[in-house]
Structure formats: structure tokens, C-alpha cells
Structure 1
């Protein structure tokens, strides 16, 4: 039993490593891609936007696939899809080809991500909180490694961005053998009662739509600077390697906010306070990039802390707003699916504005304004049902 739990833990970590590099590895070499393939900034931004769209859309079907087939087999299959699509970037010779690989990577992430949450709930029910922390941390580490090492790998591997991007299929290569073993050791139970009680998405609930809008704007803000931060640093005079380093620092700065949020909420329970705090952190980071010549390292730390905290809150709020696990699942499915589709528009908008105006500065103005809207939405969303939470938070 101990060996099985260790096996499942390592399988979870390696699976999580696969869920971000296909998206985040693009940003450090985006300038080289646009130059070689003749892509505009707007079309290059689709390399981030398309996976996010597929993530949101395909996550709606993950539960149906798990109900029909063994979820561990579905996870294994789509990790393989992510790995193959990533490796095929080695043969990229056109923008259309590269965008197709992005589509398949996004679809794989959209299926695997929600099923891994179910995997945790199924096999680690008594350690769910700590396992979700490990899962989230593993995703951040995978994203950080891919951002920081893609440019050095490009130079090492025949000075080719294609090789730098395709290299990250190695995560799938390590994960798949473990997941083939997991499918043999996994229990094959299906909860028929839960299948019969499938709850529908809360499409007629105004508060669910408010939460979905909040999640969408947070996702949009987060992936805008995740996709374009290295390019913004290059525009300010940094090298591509330095831009990749700044992106890595931003990703690593998410870890404290992600890991410490439960403890922070015990000290100050008010969701309003932390929504405001983390959003202001992002806005400060964007303002430093826009209005000062201070080293981008400071900006990246502010962006990482704020972004990591906000994304963690988007996972927590559906639980706060619902009374049962089934209801929480449907709210989470709706907020993540539609929210990520909203978020997918962000990188494209930034690329379009850069093409049209020739600078990232107007886009930074837009993102700072978006931060104010997020704070207003967050306050509206977390209007307390009772005064006790606000009293505690003030004390």
C-alpha cells in the first residue's frame, strides 16, 4: 500500500509537470518564432490563446470521458497526446503547423487537469489539501523550468527554437511509464449513484456568472503577463535570455502565495482583503514595468506573488459559494471552462495592440485598468452573507 501511494504521488507530480511547458515555453522564444515564420505579434499570441481556449472547452468533457472509461487510462492517453504534440514542434515549418500543435496540447491539458483533481480525491481523500498543494506546486515548477531553460536549450540544441520547444516532450516521456503502471494498480470502481446525480452547470445563477467573470478576468490578466513578460523585458532593452529569466522568477514567485494562502486566510479570513492585496501586487508590478526603469526583477516578483494568490483564490471561491461537493464541482467546471475561454482572449489583445501601436506601454495601461475592475468584481462577489467575517477580518 505504501509503495502504491508513492507510485501514485510520483505519477501525479510528473503528470503536473506536463500541464504548463507546452504553453509557457513559447514566450522566451516568441521573438525568434515571429521572425522566422513571419508571424505578427497578434498571430503569435495564438500560441498561448489557442491552448487556453482548448483548455476551457475540453474541460467540459473530462467528466463524461471519466464516466465512460477508466480515468487513469484517459489521463495516460492525453499525457501521451501532450508529449507527441510537443515533440512534433521539432518539425515546425509554418505558423499553421505550430498552431495545430498548440491546439492538441491545449486539448490534452483540458482533459488531464480536472481528472487529476478527481485522482487526488479518489486516492488521497484524507490528504487532499496537501496533495493539491503538491499538484499546484509541481505545475508552477514545470512552468518555471520551461520558461527559464528554453532559451539556453535553444542555443545548446543547434541554436533552434524548434528544438528548444520540442525538448519539453521529455516530461511526458518520464510520466508515461509510471502512468501505465498506475492503470494496472488503480481500483476500477465506478460510483453509479454519482453518475445518476449529474448536476447541470449553474447557467441561470447570476452569482455563478459573476464568479465566472471574475475568474475569466483573473485568468486573462495572468496569462497576458505570463505570455508577454519576456517580450516586454526585451522591448525595454533586455536580452532574450534575461527575459526568460524574468519569466522564471515570476513563476517561482507564485510559490509562496500558492503554498501559504491557507495560512494567510487563517490569520485574515476576509477574501476581500486578499483579492485586493494580490491584485494590487499585480498592478504595482505592471506599473513598475510601465513607468520606471527599475530592474524587471522587482516587477516579476510582484506579478508572481499577485498572480499566484489570485489564481489560488479562483480555485477556492467556488467552494465558498456552494453547499455540496456536487454543486462545487459544477460551479468549478463552469468557472474554469468559460473563465479560461475569456482568459484566452487576453494574449491576443496584447499582441494586436503591440502590432497596431508598436509598443507594449498602451497594453500595460489596459492591464492596470483591468486590475481595478477585478478588485471591484471581487468586492461585489465577496459581499458577506453575515457580518461576522468582516468583524473578524477587521480585528
Structure 2
């Protein structure tokens, strides 16, 4: 291991990963031509107090999005110091990098139920509080178990907000879903990249202690709580008139569970596996890429910048890839192109990790944009709105579960082999089936038709 500086690891691609989540689905299922003014859910202009409330919602969305990844990327930047300070083995560190997808899979399921009971605004506000508390507690927990528990608390808040932020966008900005999703996505990517880039300098400025370098991000999360507090009395909904009887009946029909057996669709399974493998690649790359660079002699601060560069690649591509994908009858060529970038990046990490570090960071950042492509295909592979929701829930929940072992296995291989040859071979080995199932998932067909044919 290279010296005790920072390991800009555990960043989830999750930047592309959830940077692109709402962008991709929105691009797949909405049209262009949004207006430039805020509207209420009934379509009327927002004025006076309602305009001020809308501004608070926009501020809350931006600040919350900024806080959805620093808990992960700040830890990645200081993982080596945390490991030394708490006496973690490589295997335990691998477990730590597997905690984010586990929490996203487990706590994400509870978000809709909590939102129905308390309102999405209240749940997002509580999520920001959980992030703040987790980030403040974990550096001073004093043990590996306490550190993991506090990290899980912060990740729970992230998981809840991940799921409900698109709900808030859709409710408050029904005619500006695309533009507001773009704002949300860029804020998320910015928070991810900034945390990766400045955690090491901030730690040095605060005296070099990793505890302070991690705890400082709790302050940013605390600020994100403030815009939601005045909105709590509204239970997270914009004011709207009472629906007409036919509208209410239609809404009840839309809420009725669809008679779609998603597990009978081969495309649904292909998407779930593709989602899981791309998430695995993203968590491994983001969780361990910096350690590879540091072991090759790259400084900790430079490794942080390399991770930030990888994260930033998701910002423009999260807008470009979905738009290109929706114009193609088959998304297989995009799957192949992204996979080739990933294979080239892994080869570079093995052959010349320091010599071509910036090129490998760019290539792996491009490869990680399989996430917005996966979500775009979710929107394209279902014919109905209810089908999209069901397919999305199935693909993401199964996918996050699939992605859990990857980072842990890399940590075990790294510790027991003493080098990066086997872990990189694992990354390459997973990229091949990712490309194969991605091609299958990209075929022009719908899960409704497949499920009906299999009945």
C-alpha cells in the first residue's frame, strides 16, 4: 500500500449511478419543450407565497442532491487512513465498500411506504437529518462496528432521498421534469466530484486528522435540512384543487397494481443482471481505483483528483447517452462501446497505472455511464407507465443485490494475493457478461409482451 494519504476509493458510481437515474428515465419517457416558469400541480402559475415555496423546493432539491454522495466519496478519499486508524483488514475494507449498495437495496424499499404515511418532503428531510447524524458520529465511533453502524445511518438517509427526490420533482414541477432533473443530476455529480477532490486538502487544512476530514461533511448535510423544514406542514405536496370525479377514478386505476408478472420476461431478467453487473463494476472501480493508483506511486491528492475526474464524466454523458439511446431501435452498440472503454481502462490499470492514470480515469468514467443507459432501457422496454415502474423496481432491487459481493471480493483478493492482478482480472471477467446481457436487454421488445407470451 502507498503511504497514508487518501484512498479516493469507495465512491459509487453511484454518481453516474444515481446522477443518471432520474435523467435517464426522464429522457426515455418525456418529451422536450419544457417551460421556463414554475407551476403548481394543477398547471396554474406559481405566484406570491407559492412562488417563495417553490424556490424553497428548488433549493432543497439542489442541496439534497449535493449531499447524496459525499458520505461515500469522502470516505473513499481517506479509506487508507481510516483502515489504519481502526485496524481494518483489506477484507473488512471491502465489506465497507459493499455497504452502500446493501443499504440502497434494503432501505430503498421502505421509501414509498414512508412517503405515503408521512409525505415525501418529511421523509427527505428526515433523510438529510440521518445523513448529518451519521457523518458526524462515524469518525468518532471508536471502533469498526460503530463506524459501520454510523455509515449505515447516513446511507439510509441517502437511500430514502434517492428514491423520493424524483417524486418531489414530478409533483412540484410537472411541466419541467426534464430541466429540474437535469439540475438535480448536475448537483449530485458536483457533490460527488467535489467530495472526492477536496477531502484530502480539507483534511490537511484541519490538521491532518482523518476524523475531522470526514466529519466536516456533516455541516453541508445539516444545511440541506433547512429548506425542507418550512415545507413540512404541507406533507411534501404542492397545493392542488380537488380532483374531478373522473380524474380521481383514473388516479385510483393508475394506483392499482398492474397484472404483470415481471419475472416471466427474459428482458426483465437481462436488465436486472445488466444493472447489477454495471453497478458491480462501478462500485469496484470507484471503491478501489484510487488504491491502485496509490500503490503505483500516485500521490493521495492526485488520486482524489483522478476519482473526481471519473465522477465528472457522468455529468455530460448522463444527458447525451439517453438521448442517443432513445433514437436507436437496439441499444446493443452503446453497451458494447461502454464495455470496450471499461476493458481498456482495466488494461491500463494493470499495465501502466501511473503512466496513463488520467486516460484510465476518463475511460472508466465513460464505462460507468452504463448506469444511465440501463435506466433508459428500463423506460424503453415497458409499454405502459405501470410497467416502467414495475420493471424499474425489479431491475434496480435485484441489481443492487447482485452488486453487493463485488467490492468485498476485490478486497479479499487484494489482501490475499498482495497485488492487483487478480482483482483486475475479476473486473475484466465481469465486464464480459455485462456486455452480453446488455445486448440482450437492448433488443426492441417490451416486458408486457414477453410476460403475456409466457403465460
Displacement of 1:259 after TM fit?
Answer: 2.3
Match of 2:132 in 1: 83
Q: Within 1, Cα distance between the matches of 2:149 and 2:363?
A: 34
The superposition leaves residues 286-334 of structure 1 with CA deviations (integer Å, 9 ceiling, x where unpaired) of 1111122533111001111221x21111221111111222221121122
Match of 1:182 in 2: 231
Give the 3 Å change call, closer, same or farther, for CA 384–323 of structure 1 in structure 2: closer
Match of 2:217 in 1: 168
Q: Within 1, Cα distance between the matches of 2:410 and 2:124?
A: 33
- 1:224 maps onto 2:284 in alignment: yes
Instruction: Check whether the contact 2:75–2:214 (CA below 8 A) recurs between aligned residues.
Output: yes
2:146 to 97, 100, 103: 97
Instruction: Check whether the contact 1:46–1:99 (CA below 8 A) recurs between aligned residues.
Output: no
- 1:325 maps onto 2:376 in alignment: no
Q: Within 1, Cα distance between the matches of 2:434 and 2:322?
A: 21
Structure with larger Rg: 2
1:368 to 428, 437, 441: 428
The superposition leaves residues 84-132 of structure 1 with CA deviations (integer Å, 9 ceiling, x where unpaired) of 1011123131111111112112222221111111111111122212222
Unpaired stretches in structure 2, ≥5 consecutive residues = 1-45, 243-247, 447-455
- 1:197 maps onto 2:256 in alignment: yes
Mapping of 1:258-277 within 5 angstroms?
258-265=318-325, 270-277=330-337
Give the 3 Å change call, closer, same or farther, for CA 196–127 of structure 1 in structure 2: closer
Displacement of 1:266 after TM fit?
Answer: 6.1
Query: C-alpha root-mean-square deviation of aligned residues, in Å?
Result: 2.2
The superposition leaves residues 28-73 of structure 1 with CA deviations (integer Å, 9 ceiling, x where unpaired) of 1111111121111120122221122011111112111112221111
- 1:159 maps onto 2:208 in alignment: yes
1:147 to 184, 196, 205: 196
Displacement of 1:383 after TM fit?
Answer: 2.5
2:76 to 27, 31, 38: 27
Which is bigger in relative contact order (C-alpha 8 A, separation at least 6)? Answer: 2
Displacement of 1:382 after TM fit?
Answer: 1.7
Displacement of 1:198 after TM fit?
Answer: 3.6
Give the 3 Å change call, closer, same or farther, for CA 215–361 of structure 1 in structure 2: same
Match of 1:311 in 2: 371
Match of 2:171 in 1: 122
Q: Within 2, Cα distance between the matches of 1:327 and 1:268?
A: 21
The superposition leaves residues 314-369 of structure 1 with CA deviations (integer Å, 9 ceiling, x where unpaired) of 22111111122222112112222221122122111111110110112221121122
Match of 1:379 in 2: 439
Give the 3 Å change call, closer, same or farther, for CA 102–195 of structure 1 in structure 2: farther
Displacement of 1:181 after TM fit?
Answer: 2.3
Instruction: Check whether the contact 2:112–2:164 (CA below 8 A) recurs between aligned residues.
Output: yes
Displacement of 1:143 after TM fit?
Answer: 0.9
Q: Which moved more, 1:348-357 or 1:48-57?
A: 48-57
Match of 1:354 in 2: 414
Displacement of 1:269 after TM fit?
Answer: 5.7
Q: Within 1, Cα distance between the matches of 2:205 and 2:57?
A: 34
Mapping of 1:15-94 within 5 angstroms?
15-94=64-143
The structure where helix makes up a greater share of residues is 1
Q: Within 2, Cα distance between the matches of 1:89 and 1:337?
A: 27
Aligned positions, number: 385
Instruction: Check whether the contact 2:90–2:411 (CA below 8 A) recurs between aligned residues.
Output: yes
Match of 1:297 in 2: 358
Unpaired stretches in structure 1, ≥5 consecutive residues = 387-395
Displacement of 1:220 after TM fit?
Answer: 0.4
- 1:108 maps onto 2:167 in alignment: no
Q: Within 2, Cα distance between the matches of 1:194 and 1:43?
A: 48
1:134 to 159, 173, 183: 183
Instruction: Check whether the contact 2:73–2:192 (CA below 8 A) recurs between aligned residues.
Output: yes
Give the match's secondary structure for 1:112.
helix
Give the match's secondary structure for 1:126.
coil
Q: Within 1, Cα distance between the matches of 2:326 and 2:414?
A: 42
